[in-house]
Amino acid sequence: MTDTASASELQVWPGQPYPLGATFDGTGTNFAIFTESAERVELCLFDDDDVETRVELSEVDAFVWHAYLPSVQPGQRYGYRVHGPYEPERGLRHNPAKLLLDPYAKATSGTIEWGQPLHSYNFGDPLSRNDDDSAPHMVKGVVINPFFDWTGDRYPRTPYNETVIYEAHVKGLTQTHPDVPEALRGTYAGLAHPSIIAHLQKIGVTAIELMPVHQFVHDAVLLEKGLRNYWGYNTLSFFAPHAEYAGTGERGQQVQEFKAMVKALHAAGIEVILDVVYNHTAEGNHMGPTLSWRGIDNQAYYRLVEGDEQFYMDYTGTGNSLNVAHPHALQMIMDSLRYWVTEMHVDGFRFDLASTLAREFYDVDRLSTFFELVQQDPVISQVKLIAEPWDIGPGGYQVGNFPPQWTEWNGKYRDQVRDFWRGEPTALGEFASRLAGSADLYEHSGRRPVASINFVTAHDGFTLRDLVSYNEKHNEANGEDGNDGESHNRSYNYGVEGPTDDPEILAVRARQQRNFLATLLLSQGVPMILHGDELGRTQQGNNNTYAQDSELSWIDWSAIDQPLIEFTAAIAQLRHDHPTFRRKRFFTGTTVRTGNGERLNDIVWLRGDGTPMEDGDWDAAASEKTVGMYLNGHGIAGRGERGERIVDDHFLIYCSASDEERELTLPPSEYSEAWDVLIDTGAHEPHDGRVDAGTALRIAPRALLVLREHRPPVEQDFSVAASIAATNGLATGAIPTVAADASEPQD
């Protein structure tokens, strides 16, 4: 229902064209919206009874329509109706019958009710026009109170080389946690609960990377199947926190709760990184609904097919691609990023399908306008910027090709580490390169090892436990006949598909999880752990849970693998304590003194007999699936914060993916007179003393060894593995060692 009488009673002042969106200043609210192709724009206000009051915006500056309403306060629901030509074949899709969400809305209220009214065309005829009113079925924007007490908040600004990222889902991480009050589970407040923060701190997390929290839409096709869009890669607003993650239904409260979550995480020294989806929107292709951008200025916001503009360019597989070549589409993205940093205090962004943002024309151009703007922006350029460096378009796989200030999800690291540990014939030299920071990918552009975001698993694909439990995907619950999800997972089940009570299979699966976690946390670069991998989370073989908002996806906190948590915490502590594992610069191969007068390279790759590998040795080592790495703690390039030289212990790491036990000979005394075994994922008891140079050791099948140069007993550091030894009832002797039976998952 529309109340025209109320419209005439409202005070309407000219207002300002900037900032865009609805901005409450403590007295009233300024409204501003961009559209170049419109002929008229109406602001629509809704009261508690859904009575609509329309206010025509008569002020226009540089295609921004604006007004100031002194009576409008926080909590007011609103939308727009935009009048103009409806000519889909020319890319023009204005239809005032469709209520449109403000692209700059800071909060939303209500849910979408799918059906014909949300579409500007009649079903079955995409070039026709439908004039059913969509307002009763449409989400509304909400005017927010922008004020928040940030007293005491500070950005942690953790250096990249000290960063450990934890990819998490707001709901999936908290929904079943017994210590989180039931009313807070699945919410921003739940994620900020002390029990969640304590867990993150225990395993060494310095940054939590949240899967999409921009307001998103549950697709109609999923709701018809009884499913929901769980992951959230279907954005409806680039400024509003997703309302379903708020603990209360109060309008605009999601903004306050999100800010409180960030403040709590910052107080614990944990950064907040957002997974953002600026490559497409929830409006889909030419058959999709008209919810916002399409009805406001379709040509400005979307990439259309040249010469046939009823259709959309699709580099994402979701129906449309944002038109980053248009200045106002670019402005919206930049304004959104800046808003989340300055107003919401987030610390960085991970850009979904980031190659799409580089597509100004046809080819991917890493120096496109978007990246130039980011580099020049004094706010955005100072936060963490992480690219998912691929999309589905031609030339879209761009690992290693992003600008110098960017870091990248390193898909090559994932693939090589998976292949090595499952025993696949692989280029051992490339595996070694991944452990050493992937200089082959990043050094040419002046970047450093931290450009590589190392990961073995992520939300898209198997969990770590499923990676060692399934050969095939099991996506039946998704209702797509198993056609969805990646089929080549580089996984291995060790003889049984899925759950088993075979103790030998359970043992090797547990050992492989430890191998993956240790490899990840001790590689050069920035490690990223998928939430729940440290506690044995399973999705029962489903590698595409995008629509599984259920126990299948949520962490089951009643069935956690506590020893695996302790193992992860110990490895994270080892990384934290030793700059050897988080160098700021690539290895150079230059020689430095080791501390006993000898000169050795900063890194030496070792054969099983303890001698350095030569060029011809890599093929032989590959057949044995075993490689050793010496890290010279005196060869760490760079200086500390106060200009001091960084000096650390020397370390040996041996990785053996062989299915047979191997004999290793430790290198001669010029490397170190003796060594302490800190980690042995294949041992069942702690090692009980120093191991002299040149000593022969046995490494178990599919195992990883970490040795540190021997310290006198008074200098021994027991912090790394004491908790694991206690967990297993193992006596912590002179040399604390992470033992093999530290984690046996129960299938």
Q: Which residues of 267-276 are buried (b: 16+ CB within 10 A; e: fewer)?
A: ebebbbbbbb
Single out the catalytic residue among 388, 408, 533, 744.
388
- Tokens 């449109």, residue located: 100
Measure CA 740 to chain center.
30
Single out the catalytic residue among 271, 297, 314, 352.
352
Q: Is 377 a catalytic residue?
A: no
Provide CB contacts within 8 A for 147, sequence distance 6+.
26
Q: Is 140 exposed, middle or buried (0-12, 13-18, 19+ CB in 10 A)?
A: buried
DSSP state of 250: S
The tokens for 300 are 């400005």
Distance, in Å, from the CA atom of 35 to the CA atom of 104, rounded to the nearest integer, reads: 13
* Angle value at C-alpha 522, between 517 and 528, nearest 5 degrees: 55
Assign 237 to helix, strand or coil.
coil
The upper half-sphere exposure of residue 499, i.e. CA atoms within 13 Å in the direction of its Cβ, equals 6
DSSP secondary structure string, 97-115?
TS-B--TT-S-EES----S
Distance, in Å, from the CA atom of 550 to the CA atom of 81, rounded to the nearest integer, reads: 37
The tokens for 317 are 């597989």
Compute CA distances 695 → 610, 656, 735, whole Å: 9, 18, 17
- Phi, psi at residue 592, to the nearest 5°? -140, 160
Provide CB contacts within 8 A for 533, sequence distance 6+.
456, 457, 463, 464, 465, 513, 517
Task: Using alpha carbons, select from 415, 452, 420 the residue that is nearest to residue 436.
Answer: 452
Whether 746 and 704 have beta carbons less than 8 Å apart is answered as no
DSSP state of 533: G
- Phi, psi at residue 467, to the nearest 5°? -60, -30
Whether 103 and 141 have beta carbons less than 8 Å apart is answered as no
Provide CB contacts within 8 A for 709, sequence distance 6+.
633, 649, 650, 651, 672, 674, 675, 676
The tokens for 5 are 């009488």
Q: How far apart are the first and last CA of the chain?
A: 57
User: What region does 356 belong to: left with phi over 0, alpha with psi -120 to 50, or beta?
Assistant: alpha
Distance, in Å, from the CA atom of 260 to the CA atom of 587, rounded to the nearest integer, reads: 42
Compute CA distances 520 → 198, 349, 489, 549, whole Å: 22, 21, 18, 28
Beta-strand pair 140-142/64-69:
unpaired
Q: Is 388 a catalytic residue?
A: yes
Distance, in Å, from the CA atom of 410 to the CA atom of 417, rounded to the nearest integer, reads: 11
Provide CB contacts within 8 A for 516, sequence distance 6+.
417, 421, 456, 464, 467, 468
Catalytic residue IDs: 352, 388
